[in-house]
Amino acid sequence: MRTRAPFPVACHRSRARLAAACLLLILMVAGGAVARAEPTRVRLWPDGAPGARGDAETDQPFVDISRADPATANGAAFVICPGGGYGGLASDHEGRQIAKWCNGVGATALVLHYRLGSKGYHYPTQLLDVQRAVRFARANAGRLGVDPSRIGIIGFSAGGHLASMAATLFDERPAGGTDDAIDRESARPDVAVLAYPVISLGEMHAHRGSRKNLLGPADTDELAATLSTERRVTAATPPTFLFQTDEDAGVPAENAVAFYLACRRQGVPAELHSYRRGPHGVGFALGDHVLGGWSDLLRDWLRDRGFFRPVARTAVKGRATVGGVPVSWGMVTFRPDDPLAPVSSARIRNGAFSVDAADGPVVGPVTISVCASTADVPGLDTANGTFVVEEQSPGAGPWRLTVAPDQAELDLAFTR
């Protein structure tokens, strides 16, 4: 692990420290093989964290920064919060491995090493640390080569609770914080990913160890209820993706479900994937033939939200016919040329389809495919009762069209 001087912040530095910071900046901006081979460690408060009891790494929160390869970087970034019950940090399978995945999808990763209850640090210290990490990423977006409006957060287990606090308590200013230029940035993440998260601290499904380590001697039922984040979801909570397993006995699924339902009540876009089997703390479960697919679902969700590539989208509607007959039941998919841009699909029913602008196709060139029922084509039979066309007529080549910003009604007529 390479430890370097921090990024510049809004206070004076000695010439030696400034020179070291400039060296770090040169190394990171260059993005060469050496800079990408291992993460760069940066303290969140270079002159000392508020409330710190010493100068050890357990007293001074930091981020390990792993930048995406410049050839594939898309400008997104994630703050990663490993779990560990607020008493330790699972910094490999819920930290380093997640950072590698982020880099693989073109995003810069900042693994947060926040202060722990086992070291005598209790709420609101952890909230200060995660807010600072999000603000740090946003304040240094230019230096990191990321878009300040695409800063997400990923948390696992107790780190999922910390990420959920970041997603719900971003406007809170806990006592004892600092007020430099970084602290004036927004602490709201643009998306949140919560994996088998601790959510409730006060109900029967709470993770008692996380509550004890987070709240410490100030533990009361009132404070536990205040920090049960399903109670803190508002319409301003960012879009949220949740992963859970039913067999998780450490942090039961009721936690993730409660947060998901709170998002539904507030109109927050949310997606919950709950699998039957799988113990607590699986990370991305890479290598598992079932659970290992959840990171692919996350990648597609992020892509289709425009997190990897913010582009203009538009509402469309129209009709789909096969051989002049309305498609009775099926799907039309609009796939842009850019693999990082959102893919859009709309259901066809009785020949008609429509999709709103939030989920509509990207403006510009797209490739069309239609999945329809074999019942619409006399004599046609397939193993699943459907067929897919990617040409408007046999031998015509890929079905292409250009979607306009104010797209008129589409007439998708095809033959096979």
* pLDDT tens per residue across all 416 residues of the chain: 555 544 554 443 433 343 344 434 444 444 443 345 589 999 999 999 999 999 999 999 999 999 999 999 999 999 999 999 999 999 999 999 999 999 999 999 999 999 999 999 999 999 999 999 999 999 999 999 999 999 999 999 999 999 999 999 999 999 888 999 999 999 999 999 999 999 999 877 888 899 999 999 999 999 999 999 999 999 999 999 999 999 999 999 999 999 999 999 999 999 999 999 999 999 999 999 999 999 999 999 999 999 999 999 999 999 999 999 999 999 999 999 999 999 999 999 999 999 999 999 999 999 999 999 999 999 999 999 999 999 999 999 999 999 999 988 999 999 98
SS3 156: strand
Q: Are 300 and 362 within one domain?
A: no
**By residue range, what is the domain housing residue 175?**
39-304
- Let me know if 1 is exposed, middle or buried by CB neighbors in 10 A (0-12, 13-18, 19+): exposed
Task: Pick the last residue of a domain from 251, 282, 304.
Answer: 304
Q: Are 121 and 179 within one domain?
A: yes
Task: Pick the last residue of a domain from 255, 282, 304.
Answer: 304
- pTM of the full predicted structure? 0.90
109, β-bridge pairs: 66, 78
- Let me know if 14 is exposed, middle or buried by CB neighbors in 10 A (0-12, 13-18, 19+): exposed
Q: Are 294 and 395 within one domain?
A: no
pLDDT at residue 79 in the model: 98
Q: Are 393 and 293 within one domain?
A: no
Q: Are 261 and 410 within one domain?
A: no
pLDDT at residue 203 in the model: 72
Q: Are 275 and 300 within one domain?
A: yes
Cis ω before 124 (30° cut-off from 0): yes
342, β-bridge pairs: none
Cβ–Cβ contacts within 10 Å for residue 11, how many? Answer: 10
Residue among 368, 353, 361, 367 nearest 312 (CA): 361
| 134, part of any domain | yes
Report the domain count for the chain: 2
| 7, part of any domain | no
The answer to whether the CB of 306 falls within 8 A of the CB of 249 is no
Residue 49: both structure tokens together: 């964290």
| 405, part of any domain | yes
| 18, part of any domain | no
Residue 314: both structure tokens together: 């538009």
The answer to whether the CB of 273 falls within 8 A of the CB of 242 is yes
Q: Are 145 and 167 within one domain?
A: yes
Residue among 336, 316, 319 nearest 328 (CA): 319
For the chain, the first-to-last Cα distance in angstroms comes to 59
pLDDT at residue 382 in the model: 96
Q: Are 174 and 230 within one domain?
A: yes
> What is the phi/psi pair of residue 149, to 5°?
-95, 10
Residue among 152, 239, 154, 243 nearest 195 (CA): 243
238, β-bridge pairs: none
113, β-bridge pairs: 62
Q: Are 224 and 344 within one domain?
A: no
Cβ–Cβ contacts within 10 Å for residue 231, how many? Answer: 16
Q: Please state at what angle helix 208-215 crosses helix 158-168, rounded to 10 degrees.
A: 60
- Residue where the block lists tokens 């049960």: 228
Cβ–Cβ contacts within 10 Å for residue 315, how many? Answer: 14
For 42-88, the pLDDT digits (tens) are: 999 999 999 999 999 999 999 999 999 999 999 999 999 999 999 99
The single-letter DSSP state of residue 94 is: I
| 334, part of any domain | yes
The DSSP string of 380-414 is ---TTSEEEE-SSSTTS-S-EEEE-TTPPPEEEEE
Q: Are 334 and 295 within one domain?
A: no
pLDDT at residue 30 in the model: 45
| 310, part of any domain | no
Task: Pick the last residue of a domain from 277, 304, 331.
Answer: 304
Q: Are 338 and 194 within one domain?
A: no
Q: Which helix (H) or strand (E) holds 331?
A: strand 329-336
| 26, part of any domain | no
Q: What is the CATH number of the domain that holds 385?
A: 2.60.40
| 324, part of any domain | yes
Q: What is the CATH number of the domain that holds 298?
A: 3.40.50.1820
pLDDT at residue 1 in the model: 55
Q: Are 281 and 351 within one domain?
A: no
- Radius of gyration (C-alpha) of the chain in whole angstroms: 24
